Structure 1
Amino acid sequence: MADPVLGDGVQVGEGVEFGSGVVVHAGTVIGDGCVIEDNAVLGKVPKLARTSAAAGREPPPPLVLGERVTVCAGAVVFAGARIGDRAILGDQSYVRERTVIGEDTVCGRGTAVDNDVAIGARCRIQTMVYVTAFSVIEDDVFVGPCAMTTNDDTMSRHGPEYELRGATLRRACRIGGGAVLTPGVEVGEEGFVAAGALVTRDVPPRGVVLGVPARVIRDVPEDDLLERWR
């Protein structure tokens, strides 16, 4: 097995386990009891296009992993991210700078979480989900496999004054597999988006939506609310 490569000033807590081929960039903080699996890369500094709105910013602060975080094989976690206690980042997942992931949240295999995203506690972000920049995901949200959020109505044909708008997913809402959320959409608390839906308008709290474009068909029933399943 190849020993981990640790950059300058890396802080490693007690009982941390490293797989083979791990690279940890300078300044990264790894909490007690973390498991870093084979070929993971921690604390990578972003390489930005010259035209990026963030190109002139100061370099991000070091990556911080809480206690008992698991970073699975081949995952890449950038400098400036903060990962909460007991979170799991699946194989080949990808977490960008200035993103916060809450405690006990799981990001599945191949999930991509862009920069400037806030994800709460106990979320389940399934395989191959894309969470676009400037999105907010509150606690206890479920996002099904291959779901996608977007943040640019112009598809990059805009001036510097244009504001990118990610999705907002309120507490305990659920997003079905393969759903697409257009820029700035908000899904209300306990909302339910069916698989394959194209969400172009806000979803009300407890609203059930489906279709292309998605439309409200009913409310989430009382016996399906999160409190019934804890």
Structure 2
Amino acid sequence: MNNIHPLSDVQSSNIGNNTLVWQFTVILSQAQIGNNCNINCNCFIENDVEIGNNVTVKSGVQIWDGVKIEDDVFVGPNVTFTNDLVPRSKVYPKEFKKTILNKGCSIGANSTIVAGIEIGNKAFVGAGSVLTKSINPYTVWYGNPARHKGFITEEGILLDLDLKDKNTGSQYYLEGFKPVKK
């Protein structure tokens, strides 16, 4: 069962169970949205879009063709995605660039995500950032342009570039891409 607000325009039948769609949101017919998602008000989701399970899309987000969002992702308010690196009015590329947000990543409010990049598992992009390139899992990026500023643990603890928790002084090390406490 879905909860789709009557003041939204949902043309897709590919919406999973327990997904909430708020008012004034438009979802085009070919979009795919998983279970237990929260799509806030004033959003626009184009056709060639895949959204996994347990995803939160806050107000004012437009998700254009070519964007894939995996499970457990947070997309903050007014995040802007692009899908064409050289946009021109009434001139369309043969194919839109693909952008992938991997499982569990978070994108802060008012960030811009440039087309054709991949954001790693659990990565964290701070509010107001302009992300212009792909980033590794468990990394923290922010700024304009966004720069690598640290790491984030599975539990959501922010670490500096030396893998140290500034609050507790705990030191971590990387196991693959994942920070693990020493």
Alignment TM class, shorter chain as reference: 0.7 to 0.9
Counterpart Cα distance in 1 of 2:154 and 2:55: 21
Please point out which of 11, 15, 28 is paired with 1:78: 11
* 1:132 to partner: Cα distance: 1.1
Matched with 2:104 is 172
Are the equivalent residues in 1 in contact too, given 2:14–2:33 (CA < 8 A)?
Answer: yes
* 1:130 to partner: Cα distance: 1.1
Matched with 2:143 is 211
Structure 1 gaps of 5+ residues are 1-67, 226-230
- The amino acid of 1:141's aligned partner reads V
Larger radius of gyration: 1
Normalising to structure 1: TM-score of the pair?
0.65
Secondary structure of the residue aligned to 2:155 is: helix
Secondary structure of the residue aligned to 1:140 is: coil
Matched with 2:19 is 87
Aligned residues: 157
Are the equivalent residues in 2 in contact too, given 1:114–1:132 (CA < 8 A)?
Answer: yes
Please point out which of 54, 58, 64 is paired with 1:122: 54
Are the equivalent residues in 2 in contact too, given 1:97–1:116 (CA < 8 A)?
Answer: no
* 1:69 to partner: Cα distance: 0.3
Question: Aligned in 2, Cα 1:110/1:161: closer, same or farther, shift over 3 Å?
Answer: closer
Alignment of 1:181-200 (within 5 A): 181-200=113-132
* 1:167 to partner: Cα distance: 2.0
* 1:166 to partner: Cα distance: 3.8
Question: Aligned in 2, Cα 1:92/1:157: closer, same or farther, shift over 3 Å?
Answer: closer
Counterpart Cα distance in 2 of 1:220 and 1:113: 29
Question: Aligned in 2, Cα 1:180/1:160: closer, same or farther, shift over 3 Å?
Answer: closer
Secondary structure of the residue aligned to 1:139 is: coil
Give % identity: 27
Please point out which of 140, 149, 163 is paired with 2:72: 140
Question: Aligned in 2, Cα 1:129/1:161: closer, same or farther, shift over 3 Å?
Answer: closer
- The amino acid of 1:93's aligned partner reads T
* 1:158 to partner: Cα distance: 9.2
Question: CA RMSD for the aligned pairs?
Answer: 1.7
